[in-house]
Chain A
């Protein structure tokens, strides 16, 4: 009963949050000595990931669910834009012992 009074307010807040575009940011993930750092990253759809591979080895950042597959050549920085929501475990196709998680919110 009492909560009913707040429903419109809650609805406005929720809708508002959905309508206002989230500020897209750039997030850096480094590959150094066969390690993705940070190992766990939270981001939003539309954010850009700047992948810097400091190794002399070619790596990839490959989503286990197929959402993305980024080639990260040795000693280079590449960028990719996140397009899908989800908690995605990703790994390097060449060295599957390299693993990390990217949590992508709407």
Chain B
């Protein structure tokens, strides 16, 4: 519980400070990069879960994550192509990726029911963090209407994932 909360808080404050470090709100090419990176991170975590999880429900949840996040990211790629925008790497994306790599290594050490629990706890915390970033930073900062609308759809999907993860986690106990 403590680890989960502190990880979420650390991620949140890092997201905040990374954006602040740039001195201004993120630009559309940066927002596109952050959103896409956030999706890739969850897909990687899900692929690890598909290989490692012992519970059928957890595996199924991970498969849902791959399917949905790939669908969102495909839409994001189609949109940046259409808008002729090149996603731009930035401190927030870098921080997210770095943390995700550490988390994957940490989860990789766990096994069985312990892994399942930790993966789901991280899914809940991660979606909370991303949803909060979408609500307070990314959506308000997006200037292109289509990008904003895609982020809003993403927020609804990810809020669904958060609830779904909470439900699967509750069933495990």
**Could you list which residues of chain A lie within 8 angstroms of chain B, going by C-beta atoms?**
33-34, 56-58, 74, 92-98
Contact = CB atoms under 8 A, between A and B. Distances in A.
Contacts of A96: 160, 163-164, 167
B156 A33 contact: yes
Interface string B132-164: 000000000000000000000100110111011
Given A95-B156, A97-B156, A56 B71 contact: yes
Nearest to B155: A34
17 contacts: A34-B156, A34-B157, A34-B160, A56-B74, A57-B67, A57-B71, A58-B64, A58-B68, A74-B71, A92-B160, A94-B64, A94-B68, A94-B160, A94-B164, A95-B160, A95-B163, A96-B167
Contacts of A74: 71
Contacts of B159: 95, 97
Interface string B48-64: 00000000000000001
Contacts of B74: 56
A52 B150 CA distance: 20
A27 B160 CA distance: 26
A29 to B, nearest CB: 18
A95 B71 contact: no
A34 B157 CA distance: 7
A34 B64 CA distance: 15
A57 B75 CA distance: 11
Contacts of B71: 56-57, 74
